[in-house]
Amino acid sequence: MNILVLNCGSSSLKYQLINMEDESVIAKGLVERIGIEGSILTHKPTGKDKFVVEQPMSDHKVAVKLVLDALKDAEHGVIKSDDEIAAVGHRVLHAGEKYQESIIINDDVKKVIRECFDLGPLHNPANLIGIEAVEAAMPGKANVAVWDTAFGGSMEPKAFLYAIPREYYEKYHIRRYGFHGTSHMFVSGETIKFANLDPEKAKVIVCHLGNGASISASIGGKCVDTSMGLTPLEGLIMGTRSGDLDPAILEYLCNHENLTISEMLNILNKKSGVLGMSGGISSDFRDINDAMNNGNEVAKQTLEAYAYRVAKYIGSYTAAMNGVDAITFTAGVGENAVWLRPMVCKYLGYLGIQLDEEASAKAVGERMLISTPDSKVKLCVIPTNEELAIARETLRLVK
Ligand code: ADP
C-alpha cells in the first residue's frame, strides 16, 4: 500500500510516495516557484534518473497534476495509475485547539484550517490549497491532515499558558502550541526504541536544530513542553528567527527606527537569528562555523550564544521533567554539525552527561549513540523523517 505525503508551502510543494509494506521511499520530489516565473518540478524516482519539468505552474492545482503525471510517467514514473495511491497525507500547520489528533479531511476540517489562517498565515492557506488540489485531481481519495502542532497538544496549562490577561486565551486562544510536532513525535519515539528506554516513562529531550529550531521535553512519548509558542518565532536562536526576547524591545525599536509592528516582526522572523547576530554573515550554520574557524570573533559569539541557548533549554526541561534519560540531536544542524555538540554538552556535566567525542565526530546524518558508556544520560543523533511520520499516521487512519 502506497501513501503520498504532501507538504505545501506558499510557492512550493514537497512530496514523497512511500511504500508502507517496508516504509521505503518509491519517489520523492519538489516543486518550486509555483505561481511565479520559473516554476520547476524535480522528480526523483528511487533507482532511476531524476526528472525535471520546467513549465509555467499558475497554482498548486497545476503542480499537483504534474506531480501525479510524473509519478505515472512511462519512463520516469513509479506507478501505473492513481489507484496505486491508497491515501494522501498532508502536513498542516495549525488547527488551533480544535484538532490535535490527525484526522481524515472533510468539509468541517477544511473549515477549521481556514479559521486558523491568522494563526498560521504563511502555511495554513498553502496547506488548504494543496488539499483542494488533490481533491480536484483525485476525487474520492482519502486525504489526512497531520498537524504540526499535534505533539504539543498534550502540554498542561502550566506549560502552554502565557502570563497575560486570561481573556486573551479565552477570546483568541493565545497559548503555546509548539511546532515541528511531527518531527518531535517521530524522533522522541525513535529515541525510546533506539536507546532502549521504558516506553511509558522515558524522559526525552529532542533538539530539532534546522533552519528553524525547536526543542521538546516528553515523558513516555507525550510532550510536556516545547520551545516554539503561538508561532514558530519563540524559543531557540534559529537561522533567521530571533527566538526568545524581551517584548519591550519591539516598542523601543519601532519608535527609534520608525518601524511598524509588522515590519518589526518581519525583521525578527527573517533578518535575525544567527544571520542577524553575526552581522549578516549567513543564515547557514556552515558559513558561520567557517567564519569562526577563520578567527571571526562575531561568528564565534553567535555560535556560542546559539549553543548556550540550547543548553539553557535542556537545563530547564530537565528541571520540568525532574530528570532526563536521553537527549537527541536532529534536523540539518543537529544531524550534521559535529562541532556544535561539544559546545552544548560542556554545560551539561552536572547531569553526569558525557559526550563521546570520537563517536560524535562520526555521527553525521545517521542514527548513532554519541555518549560514553558511563554517561548518566544517553546522547543520540537520530535523523528526523517527518514524511514517514505523516505516512504512518495516514495509514493508521485509513486502514
Ligand atoms: P529546515 O527543514 O528548517 O529548512 P533543515 O533541517 O534542512 O532545515 O536544516 C537546514 C540547515 O542545516 C541549513 O541552514 C544548514 O545551516 C544546516 N546544515 C546542513 N548541513 C550542515 C552541516 N554539515 N554543518 C552545519 N550545519 C548544517
- Centre of ligand 1 from the C-alpha of residue 288, in Å: 12
DSSP letter (8 states) at residue 294: T
Other CB atoms closer than 10 Å to residue 77's CB: what's the count?
18
Q: Which pLDDT score, from 0 to 100, does residue 119 have?
A: 85
Phi, psi of 284 (to 5 degrees): -90, 125
Alpha helices for 45-118 (secondary structure H): 60-72, 107-115
Checking 274-280 for CB contacts under 8 A at 24+ apart, the result is 274/237, 274/238, 274/239, 274/240, 274/302, 274/303, 274/306, 275/239, 275/240, 276/240, 276/242, 277/237, 277/301, 277/302, 277/305, 278/302
How far, in Å, from the CA of 29 to the mean position of ligand 1?
Answer: 18
CA of 241 to the centre of ligand 1 (A): 14
Ligand 1 atom at shortest distance from the alpha carbon of 287: 16
Residue 303 identity (one-letter amino acid): L
Q: Which pLDDT tens digit goes with each residue over 194-211?
A: 999 999 999 999 999 999
What residues have CB less than 8 Å from 46, skipping those under 6 apart? 24, 25, 26, 27, 28, 78
Q: Is the pLDDT of residue 10 over 90?
A: no
> Is any ligand 1 atom within 6 A of the Cβ of residue 273?
no
**What is the residue-averaged pLDDT of the chain?**
96
> Is the distance from the beta carbon of residue 210 to the nearest atom of ligand 1 less than 6 Å?
yes
Instruction: Name the pLDDT band for 347 (thresholds 50, 70, 90).
Output: very high
- Regarding the beta carbon of 286 and ligand 1, being less than 6 Å apart is answered yes
- Catalytic residue (choose from 118, 148, 284, 287): 148
Q: Are 133 and 60 in contact (CB under 8 A)?
A: yes
pLDDT value for 120? 84
* pLDDT tens-place string over residues 312-335: 999 999 999 999 999 999 999 999
The residue nearest atom 3 of ligand 1, judged by CA position, is 211
228 lines ligand 1 (CB under 6 A): no
Ligand 1 pocket check for 331: Cβ under 6 Å: yes
Distance of CA 22 to the CA centre of its chain: 24
User: Does the active-site annotation cover 148?
Assistant: yes
Give yes or no for residue 284 CB within 6 A of ligand 1. Answer: yes
Expressed in angstroms and rounded, the spacing between residue 147 Cα and the centre of ligand 1 is 23
pLDDT band at 309 (very low <50, low <70, confident <90, very high): very high
Q: Measure Cα distances from 103 to 8, 314, 338 in Å.
A: 17, 32, 38
pTM of the model: 0.93
In ligand 1, which atom is closest to the CA atom of 208? 6
Q: Which domains does the chain have, with CATH numbers?
A: 2-147 (3.30.420.40), 198-381 (3.30.420.40)
pLDDT at residue 214 is higher than 90: yes
Task: Count, in order, helices (H) and strands (E) of the chain.
Answer: 15, 14
Q: Which of 281, 284, 302 to mutate to test the pocket of ligand 1 (most atoms within 8 A of CB)?
A: 284
